[in-house]
Amino acid sequence: MDIFPGRLYQAREIETTEGLTEIAAISKNKCFRCGNTNVKLFGKMSCASCEKDACIYCRNCIVMGRVNSCQKLYFQKTKRLPKIKEPLLRWSGILSQGQQKASDAVVSSLIEKKDMLLWAVAGSGKTEMMFEGMDWALRQGFRICIASPRVDVCLELHPRLQEVFPKNEIVCLYGDSDDKYQGEQFVIATTHQLIRFYETFQVIFIDEVDAFPYAKDPFLEYAVGKARTKEGSTIIITATPEKQWQEECAEGKRNFVKIPGRYHRKKLPVPRTCWIGPWKKNLAKGKITPKLIKWIKNVEMRDQPALIFFPEIDAMNKFADALENNGFSRPVTVHSADELRKEKVEWLREGKIKLLLTTTILERGVTFTDVQVAVFGSEGRIFTEAALVQISGRAGRKLSHPTGDVCFFHYGKTAEMKRAITHIQRMNQQGVVEGMLDD
């Protein structure tokens, strides 16, 4: 088996360790591979290779193959690849004003080897904002990685990026991917896969980082830091940075660029709120508030596709039952463990169904033309500011239908609901001020 520079290997994965640099897998109670230092996440076992009764191993990264304290990890240093003069990007599209601003900021951060937060509203066309930076980095001979906590995002990015960078072999790595790393210059990976790399990439883009609280996850931060070369740039892309980061941006402690406008220059739909009383009690009696029945009839009348988000599966199912009892046809429901998840999303996209009831799994990453959005029981704890901003961001994404109704049906307004609405209003105001929106 070949050894590819930048990838960490365990002895059993390779034929020979000759000529490779070695690092202790676990030392001073820290797992080198994943950064775990939590005593509770280390186990003890009787070990065949060191013959100790209590050889320590890391449980935190065990899904990637067990590492023991008697083991070493092996790697070969990466060398910079040759520079390329001709552009690699093959894309004939035109960046919007907001996208161009972001794209320029990305390129200058890469040139200056700085980290950056790219804070861009849902539907602003984030992928295109990375194109010029990627092209620049690849031509420098840099190794680049685009990582996301979500496999769905990686799978969607792969064909899109391969299309615009036809000359580059792009590999897509995730838990059970058929692709294996073979020294490719351009890597797409789940953030989890980053723990297999060591000082490999000069540039790492992290997409949809808020799907997984980055700052609250020390392992992820360690993995990104370890996979990147000491000098380089980490570009974090999100529509909804956590509160602490928003504050750091406001205080000038974080290099960031904010793109408040969508590519089609129309404002983000601002959510309405609608009080529906003790809905749990009512659902238990098989009742749905007339306000929501009216909302559903309205979208049916206008023949628009609609998404209704629920705080939990149980409420969603009871709602579906109640809707049926109220003379509607049985609505289609979807949740994370649903095997037909992808198909159901397609049904709505193709117009085979008009209404889809969902848990928060569809809060991001999906685009439906002219979709109308309701959040049922929006006071639920699962509906954080970030989740509600993302959900609202499903509406009005298309140039052909740049607006849409978003309504929070609630039994008591929460601070998160209020923050989500303010967040969207502020983005719209700033978009107008910066000339990114047609007022």
Most distant CA atoms of the chain, gap in Å: 73
Q: Which residues of 2-25 are buried (b: 16+ CB within 10 A; e: fewer)?
A: ebbebbbbbbeeeeeeeebeeeeb
β-strand partners of 214: none
Among 3, 6, 10, 68, binds Zn ion (CB under 5 A): 68
Among 3, 20, 25, 58, binds Zn ion (CB under 5 A): 58
Residue ranges with strand state E in 320-436:
332-334, 355-358, 372-376, 406-410
In angstroms, what is the minimal distance from the CB of 224 to Zn ion? Answer: 15
Residues of this chain, 17-46, that bind Zn ion according to CB under 5 A: 31, 33-34, 36
Decide whether 61 or 116 has the Cβ nearer to Zn ion.
Answer: 61
Quote the distance between the C-alpha of residue 201 and its chain's center. 20
In angstroms, what is the minimal distance from the CB of 52 to Zn ion? Answer: 6
In angstroms, what is the minimal distance from the CB of 161 to Zn ion? Answer: 30
Residues of this chain, 298-327, that bind Zn ion according to CB under 5 A: none
End-to-end CA distance of the chain: 60
In angstroms, what is the minimal distance from the CB of 10 to Zn ion? Answer: 12
Phi, psi dihedral angles at 226 (to 5 degrees): -75, -35
Is 421 one of the binding residues for Zn ion (CB under 5 A)?
Answer: no
CA distance 378 to 374: 9
Stretch that binds Zn ion, among 50-58, 109-117, 202-210, 431-439 (CB under 5 A): 50-58
Is 50 one of the binding residues for Zn ion (CB under 5 A)?
Answer: yes
Phi, psi dihedral angles at 254 (to 5 degrees): -135, 130
In angstroms, what is the minimal distance from the CB of 199 to Zn ion? Answer: 18
In angstroms, what is the minimal distance from the CB of 61 to Zn ion? Answer: 3
What does the CA dihedral 9, 148, 181, 24 come to, rounded to 10 degrees?
-10
Is 64 one of the binding residues for Zn ion (CB under 5 A)?
Answer: no
Decide whether 31 or 172 has the Cβ nearer to Zn ion.
Answer: 31
Q: Per-residue string for binding with Zn ion, 206-235, x by CB under 5 A?
A: ------------------------------
Is 392 one of the binding residues for Zn ion (CB under 5 A)?
Answer: no
Residue ranges with strand state E in 157-227:
170-173, 186-190, 201-207
Is 193 one of the binding residues for Zn ion (CB under 5 A)?
Answer: no
Stretch that binds Zn ion, among 5-13, 51-59, 173-181, 347-355 (CB under 5 A): 51-59
Cα separation values, 17 from 5, 14, 20, 72, Å: 13, 7, 6, 10
Question: Which tokens hold the place of 377?
Answer: 């029981």
Decide whether 61 or 332 has the Cβ nearer to Zn ion.
Answer: 61
Which parts of this chain interact with Zn ion (CB under 5 A)?
Answer: 31, 33-34, 36, 47, 50, 55, 58, 60-61, 68, 70
